[in-house]
Amino acid sequence: MTTATEFAPGLVIQNFTAPLKLSDFKLIAFDMDSTLISIECVDEIADAVGRKAEVAAITEAAMRGEITDFKDSLRRRVALLKGVTVADMERVYTERLQINPGAAELIAACQAAGLKVLLVSGGFTYFADRVKERLNIDFARSNLLEIENGALTGQLVDQCWGDICDGAEKRRTLLEVASLLGIEPSQCIAMGDGANDLPMMGAAGLSVAYHAKPKVREQAMVAINEGGLDRLLELFA
């Protein structure tokens, strides 16, 4: 039986005892959209071609776990982005994308304690690579949009590891990076907000839901329901 406890206002823990030692962990993995950053990039890109409502409805259903085939849902959304220009995406980055509160502070604290940082996203490399650089993140994996003549084709580019970074790929990436670092999955923290984050969260030693969908909050060991990402640090001695 799951026993949930409000450790502090807006911070819920279940099935473990706090405080922990941050230095016991060696890797922290973050989802990007609506976790590290404030937006769902695919929805905001779609706004440039007047399709935000249609795309956002698919995104919401996928993140709630109502659409179980993430790959299919992403292909459907990306197809609706055909014609969006690189300039449109640049405006999304400069005008709409914001780093969520506490992200920089949490990452700095983790790195000071000896952890490596992984960004693993069902979103897009155009944004993920910039967020990686901006937050001094060690590793990143995401999806690559196909661009021809300065505009999106409505397709994704296959990469060496496969076609789409979905929930299964997030989990595989977490385990791959852990193996490269010579650490156990139990020494990993995984943070996310949507249903496609659950596979990697389930593989990690500590799973954290950040302002997440109900299904994710229910399954995570920690749920941050109020405040910034750095509230996770309250659990550590």
**One-letter-per-residue 3-state SS of the chain:** CCCEEEEECCEEEECCCCCECHHHCCEEEECCECCCECCCHHHHHHHCCCCHHHHHHHHHHHHCCCCCCHHHHHHHHHHCCCCCEHHHHHHHHHHHCCECCCHHHHHHHHHHCCCEEEEEEEEEHHHHHHHHHHCCCCEEEEEEEEEECCEEEEEEECECCECCCCHHHHHHHHHHHHHHHCCCHHHEEEEECCHHHHHHHHHCCEEEEECCCHHHHHHCCEEECCCCHHHHHHHEC
pLDDT digits (tens, 9 = 90+) for 189-215: 999 999 999 999 999 999 999 999 999
Contact by Cβ (8 Å): 163, 155: no
Residue 60 lies in a domain: no
What integer pLDDT is reported at residue 2 of this predicted model? 55
Catalytic residue among 24, 31, 129, 138: 31
Is 193 tagged catalytic? Answer: no
Residue 168 lies in a domain: yes
Catalytic residue among 24, 33, 72, 88: 33
Residue 73 lies in a domain: no
pLDDT digits (tens, 9 = 90+) for 14-30: 988 878 999 999 999 99
CA distance 54 to 76: 10
What integer pLDDT is reported at residue 18 of this predicted model? 79
Residue 88 lies in a domain: no
Residue 145 lies in a domain: yes
**Computed from CA positions of residues 92, 96, 101, 105, in that sequence, does the dihedral angle turn out positive or negative?**
positive
Tell me how many domains the chain contains.
1
CATH of the domain at 219: 3.40.50.1000
pLDDT-based confidence at residue 160 (cuts at 50, 70, 90): low
Beta bridge partners of 11: 8, 224
Residue 198 lies in a domain: yes
Residue 72 lies in a domain: no
Is 33 tagged catalytic? Answer: yes
**Structural domain that includes position 32:** 4-38+99-235
pLDDT-based confidence at residue 1 (cuts at 50, 70, 90): very low
Residue 50 lies in a domain: no
